[in-house]
Amino acid sequence: MSIKRMFAAAAAIGLVTLGAAWAQGDPAQVIRERREGLRAVGQHFEALGAIAQSRGDTRAAVPRIEAVQAFFVNFPARFPANTQTGETRALPTIWTDNAGFVAAYNGLGPALANLRTVAAGGDATAFGEALRAAGATCGNCHRPYRAR
């Protein structure tokens, strides 16, 4: 097996283990952790919006974008079936239309990757556009899958 394939296999096992840990955890704790993570994502996006608005140094945005990317790895596994109720705004559609939820999730990754590339490039106008496009993918999931 090549080093690259071994790494991919190890990463896949890691993700499965992580998903299993979430599925087995105390539901209230799983909800708390996903909401804390999402709150941090929201704060990163507010900071990114401020950089876009002030036409500041977009390279300074890169670590925030990377933090958001890291949080969203395996995101759907943060929604095991036993976390539908409680202190959560997750809508039942996440579980009744899980394919749609995963499709909305899959829209986010490329938008974040593009945002990171554009931020590293330093073009403030392009950054504003890429940020809007990434923000739209957040809304594409929130509208059908998150309560107001």
Q: Which residues bind ligand HEC (CB under 6 A)?
A: 31, 34-35, 38-39, 41-42, 45, 68, 88-90, 101, 104-105, 108, 134, 137-138, 141-142, 145-146
Cβ atoms 119, 62 nearer than 8 A: yes
Q: Which is nearer to ligand HEC, 23 or 146 (CB)?
A: 146
CB of 137 to ligand HEC, least distance (A): 6
Within 10 angstroms of residue 108's Cβ, the number of other Cβ atoms is 19
Q: Which two tokens stand for residue 98?
A: 């899980």
Q: Which is nearer to ligand HEC, 6 or 106 (CB)?
A: 106
Q: Which is nearer to ligand HEC, 84 or 126 (CB)?
A: 84
Q: Which is nearer to ligand HEC, 61 or 104 (CB)?
A: 104
* DSSP conformation class of 148: -
Distance CA 87, CA 28 (A): 8
CB of 144 to ligand HEC, least distance (A): 9
Distance CA 33, CA 112 (A): 22
Q: Which is nearer to ligand HEC, 10 or 113 (CB)?
A: 113
CB of 123 to ligand HEC, least distance (A): 20
CB of 78 to ligand HEC, least distance (A): 8
Distance CA 132, CA 121 (A): 17
Within 10 angstroms of residue 96's Cβ, the number of other Cβ atoms is 9
The widest CA-to-CA distance across the chain, in whole angstroms, is 49
CB of 83 to ligand HEC, least distance (A): 7
